[in-house]
């Protein structure tokens, strides 16, 4: 199973970006999907998460600006980022808690490769 993140880029403060992360492979089920970010020299922080039924949680620092959503049929999670700030500059990673077809009794976390978001002032 692989997660492929995309949609990062360079924008100016106040602009928007939409990140996507698609899971592919022999997937039995995906429970929750999450976005994290890691700024240079800092720890990786949870940005937002969404479970299969649509329950969502956000980090305080993105509430009101970012929106997470998912398309269960496509095994894809999105992160709509509005009103971006320079402090949002980071590598954004997606992660999913999932079960693979080959071993459906085991839930594990899979990570995407990260996509760079840079916000200039």
CA–CA dist 52, 45 (Å, integer): 21
Query: What are the pLDDT digits (tens) for 59-94?
Result: 999 999 999 999 999 999 999 999 999 999 999 999
Mean pLDDT over 88-115 rounds to 94
pLDDT for residue 41? 96
pLDDT for residue 59? 97
Which residue intervals of the chain are DSSP H helices? none
Is the CB of residue 76 less than 8 Å from the CB of residue 23?
yes
Q: Give the other-Cβ count within 10 Å of 10's Cβ.
A: 12
Express as a percent the part of the chain with pLDDT over 70: 100
Phi and psi at 94, nearest 5°, equal -105, 155
Query: What are the pLDDT digits (tens) for 26-46?
Result: 999 999 999 999 999 999 999
The residue count for the chain = 121
pLDDT for residue 42? 97
Q: How confident is the model at residue 99 (pLDDT cuts 50, 70, 90)?
A: very high
CA–CA dist 87, 31 (Å, integer): 30
User: Hunting for tokens 């039924």 — which residue is that?
Assistant: 53
Q: How confident is the model at residue 15 (pLDDT cuts 50, 70, 90)?
A: very high
CA–CA dist 98, 106 (Å, integer): 8
């Amino acid at each position: 199973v692989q997660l492929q993140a995309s949609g990062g880029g360079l924008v100016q403060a106040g602009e928007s970006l939409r990140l996507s992360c698609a899971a592919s492979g022999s997937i039995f089920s995906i429970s929750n999907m999450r976005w994290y970010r890691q700024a240079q020299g800092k720890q990786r922080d949870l940005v937002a998460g969404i479970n299969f039924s649509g329950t969502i949680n956000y980090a305080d620092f993105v509430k009101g600006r970012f929106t997470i959503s998912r398309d269960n049929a496509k095994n894809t999670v999105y992160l709509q980022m509005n009103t971006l700030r320079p402090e949002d500059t980071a590598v954004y990673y997606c992660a999913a808690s999932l079960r693979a077809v080959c071993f459906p009794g085991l839930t594990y976390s899979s990570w995407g490769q990260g996509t760079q978001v840079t916000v200039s002032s």
